[in-house]
Amino acid sequence: MALALNIVIIILALVTLYFLLKGGREAVPAPAGKPAGGSYTPLPQGEPVHHWSDEGRFQLEVLGESRYSDTIHALAGQHGDAPADAHHKALLLPDDNNPYEDKAVAVFLNKQMVGYLAPKDALAFRAMLARQEIAGQLTSTDAVIRGGHLYEGKRLSYAVLLDINVA
């Protein structure tokens, strides 16, 4: 009896392994409202419902700028060898359809994507939106692009900083 049970278990394991290796299961479609693959960029719609300010401190850094380095370089403007200090209005968009981070907050300067808030900052920002009863809505703040100066013949990277305190 034990031998027969062992043979059945081995056969089931082999059939399962074959099934998994052959890809017998159909691909699961992406959840509704989320892109199935490829490049993804959210689009801000409408006007901001609130403008945030931290009195010009510019302490919240935007992440993922390397992906948008060409855009940021153009927005930094002409600054020669010196560091950039380009001021812009930023749009902050809670991005519920982001395929990589479900609580993402996208950042735009001049309606061009420049990155995202760090995940912990995005959660804190979303809590601020909820307290103001504007959850999920487009808001704005002031932003500055700094850096990008020449050092030993090479242009350093830029940083996008926002005038908002999410702490």
Q: Is 144 inside any structural domain?
A: yes
Domain contains 70: yes
Local structure of residue 49 (DSSP, 8 states) = S
Q: Domain for residue 63, yes or no?
A: yes
Express each pLDDT in 83-94 by its tens digit.
999 999 999 999
pLDDT, tens digit (0-9, with 9 covering 90-100), for 2-60: 787 788 788 877 877 677 676 644 444 444 444 444 467 888 989 999 999 999 999 99
Question: Sorting pLDDT into bands at 50, 70 and 90, what band is 157?
Answer: very high
Domains contained in the chain, number:
1
Please indicate, yes or no, if residue 19 is contained in any of the structural domains: no
Q: What pLDDT score does 39 carry?
A: 62
SS3 18: helix
Q: Is residue 133 part of a domain?
A: yes
The CATH number of whichever domain residue 103 belongs to comes to: 3.30.70
pLDDT of residue 30: 41
Cβ-contact 103, 116 below 8 angstroms: no
DSSP label at 66? G
Q: The whole model's pTM is what? A: 0.75
**Which residue segment(s) compose the domain that 150 sits in?**
51-162
Question: What phi and psi, each to the nearest 5 degrees, are found at residue 158?
Answer: -100, 160
Q: Is residue 59 part of a domain?
A: yes
Measured distance CA(18)–CA(46) in Å, rounded: 52
Q: Is 142 inside a domain boundary? A: yes
Contact 143, 162 (CB under 8 A): yes
